[in-house]
Chain A
Amino acid sequence: MVKIRIDDRLLEAAEGSTIMDVAQAAGIDVPHFCYHPAFEPEGSCRMCLVEIEGAPKLELACSTRVKDGMNVLTSSSKVMEARKEILEFLLAEHPLDCPICDKAGECRLQDYYERYGRFDAHFREPKEKRDKMVSIGKKLLLDRERCILCTRCVRFLREVTGTGELGVFERGARTEIGLYEDRRIDNAYSGNLAEICPVGAITDTDFRFKTRVWRLERGASICPHCGRGCNIDIEFRRMTEDAVAEPRIFRVRARENASVNGHWICDIGRYGHPYWTENRSRFVLMNNDAKTTRLSWDRALIILSEKIKGLGLRGKGGRLGLILNSFLTNEELYLIGRIFKKAVDLGNVWFADPKPQEADRLLLTAERSSNLRGARELGFESRPPDLEEIVKRIEVLLVIGSGLREAFAAGEVRKALDRVPAKFLFAAHTGPGDDAYDFLLPAALIAEKLGSLTNTLGLVQEFQPVWRPPGEARPEWEVLADLARELGSGEAWTDLTSIREAMARENPFFRKGHE
């Protein structure tokens, strides 16, 4: 370890770290464009120049390694002058697009100009004219006039995805970023490019022109689409003044987590945000002779519990069927185990999950659900549903989640369900074939409830709700707690903490520290 000073603060640093490493760890902001913690230092933007006592010239914070006793000044007059002049160079050849540029409000050039710039512009010459709407990928547009050639995009595609679709062509002021012939950016992580671009050169057509970033609310959550459990920020607006109004989701961004997803998320999670709001199930419904009526939760739960208790009167047997899914949280799966252990023969529990696909060497796991590992740790074996078995044995079927709809054709499901006396669907999304169920109960999604998920590597991540469930939708764990009470289990699960405590008591895996 070495000791250095940055702006009169005495700091300890590991040998071999850069000034930027030390500054970032200490919460000292050194402005930069081309530097990114995920890449080797590039040193080309020159924005991070700082003053080192005893050195004749300003040096780069991003690439200069600290030495014991080094004294760094990040705000001396020489440094401030350098920053101003670098900004002036950048703005000289930068179009004044702020009024129409998506990046406004989260643009480094704007932010730094606000803080360190503020000068009379002296550049009188004609600016370079370049292409402004080059489609470089399925949802990406490149504006070459805005590009400051930080090369983060080029380096991301070379070092992270290894796909190398972008290159640097020409030299001098004619230098530009571009594709090769018709080979476009076509990988599962392309959306990260718009995030890492420090200015509005690469924009995302999924977000383009839809709103201003300062109007967005942001909530931290976990992406549910695979077993990685990438940390995300969901950015949304409530379109009315009503605080309980349903949100309109504008985008999903990566939230940095060194133990899970690093700095990135994949395009499935990023562009899969319609999942949170489209086709949501909002009301408790009963289907009866081609009529659909609304019910209260209380009523529905009484009916369900009586159906279940009714089976018990005819002797314990394989009459109750549960089709679960591995998007359910640890607490929910645990509760299910507690409630139905006695009532359900293990042979009558199935998991309707998306088909596993190829894992990639980055974030995407083969399993395309968020809590498969949690289900395993809680003792569940995720057998896919067998419609024939269900028809043969099951009298009361509780389907949790949308998996059945995705695994089988609607006609097949309907045919099977027609031969099951009582069937309940407890899912967040509506879809074709819903009318085949007797009762529809609306469920909440991860961003609408409390809980925890176990990712593919065994890391348990807790999360908080970002907005309320739509309509009458409720978190599964709450409904299950009510059901437990109705079934007369004698256990009262009043809040999530009590569930967690019980889970930890019973299962050592859930005793360790959580994220």
Chain B
Amino acid sequence: MSHGFTPGVLDEVRAVAARYPRREAALLPILRVLQRVSGVLGRAEEELAAELLGFEPIRVREAVTFYSLVRQKPEGRHIIQICINLSCSMAGAGSSLASLQTRLGIGPGETTPDGRFTLLTVECLGNCDQAPCLMVDDDDHGRVREEQLDEILGRYL
């Protein structure tokens, strides 16, 4: 059953599952692919993963709701994750966050009306010597000063 996914996507997730000695272990990598493809992890994605891995969809949802990087709500084209843990807070993450909220007009957890950015506050990203730091999609940005925010955001259309 294709659950509405293209053969290319089905091939990709099957290939991921095949790399593991037990296919259940492929859950997180498969969810990663499906999140990239669909943007969100809804019922169709859960059922596809469940079918591929040989367990019930409810087990997939248990994992989907457990992990922070796995998201069920529709989001913007670009995800901003700004660290607000200790070293980054001491380096001024609070004002960067306030600045971002003003510039984008949204609060943490929200998406801009034009669908461009979703803003998330997160715990330590492991980049503490580059505090304050943030990620946009998979890109790290360190020692972020307020003056740089426009330029950084400008790279992501």
Q: Do A and B bind each other?
A: yes
Taking a contact as CB atoms under 8 Å apart, the answer to whether A168 and B56 are in contact is: no
Q: Which of A169, A170, A171, A180 contacts B56 (CB 8 A)?
A: A180
Say whether B43 faces chain A, with CB atoms less than 8 Å apart.
yes
Q: How many residues of A contact B (CB 8 A)?
A: 12
Cβ of A169 and Cβ of B43 under 8 Å apart? no
Asked if A180 contacts B66 (CB within 8 A), the reply is no
- CA A87 to CA B116, docked complex, whole Å: 47
Cα A183 to Cα B43 in complex, Å, equals 13
- The answer for the CA separation of A260 and B62 in the assembled complex, in Å, is 35
Are A170 and B58 neighbours in the complex by a CB distance under 8 Å? Answer: no
Tell me how many residues of B have a C-beta within 8 Å of chain A: 9
- Decide if B57 is an interface residue (CB 8 Å cutoff): yes
Residues of B contacting A181 in the complex (Cβ-Cβ under 8 angstroms): 43, 57
Interface string of A158-194 (1 = CB under 8 A from B): 0000001111111100000001110100000000000
**Is A170 within 8 A of B65, CB to CB?**
yes
- Contact of B103 with A by CB under 8 A: no
Q: How far is the CA of A17 from the CA of B20 in the complex (A)?
A: 36
Give chain A residues whose Cβ lies under 8 Å from the Cβ of B58.
164-167, 179-180, 183
> B43 contacts which chain A residues (CB < 8 A)?
181
Which residue of A is nearest B43, CB measured? A181
Q: How far, in Å, is A220 (CB) from chain B's closest CB?
A: 37
Interface string of A134-177 (1 = CB under 8 A from B): 00000000000000000000000000000011111111000000
Which residues in B have their C-beta under 8 angstroms from that of A164? 56, 58-59
Inter-chain contact A170/B57, CB cutoff 8 Å: no
Q: Does B141 make an interface contact (CB < 8 A)?
A: no
In this complex, what residue of A is CB-closest to B59?
A: A167
B143 at the interface (CB under 8 A from A): no
New contact pairs (8) apart from A169-B62, A169-B65, A181-B57, CB-CB < 8 Å? A167-B58, A167-B59, A170-B65, A171-B66, A180-B57, A180-B58, A180-B61, A183-B58
In the A-B complex, the 5 residue pairs with the smallest Cβ-Cβ separation, listed nearest first, are: A180-B58, A169-B65, A167-B58, A167-B62, A170-B65
| A–B pairs, 22, beta carbons within 8 Å | A164-B58, A164-B59, A165-B58, A166-B58, A167-B58, A167-B59, A167-B61, A167-B62, A168-B62, A169-B61, A169-B62, A169-B65, A169-B66, A170-B65, A170-B66, A171-B65, A171-B66, A179-B58, A180-B56, A180-B58, A181-B43, A181-B57
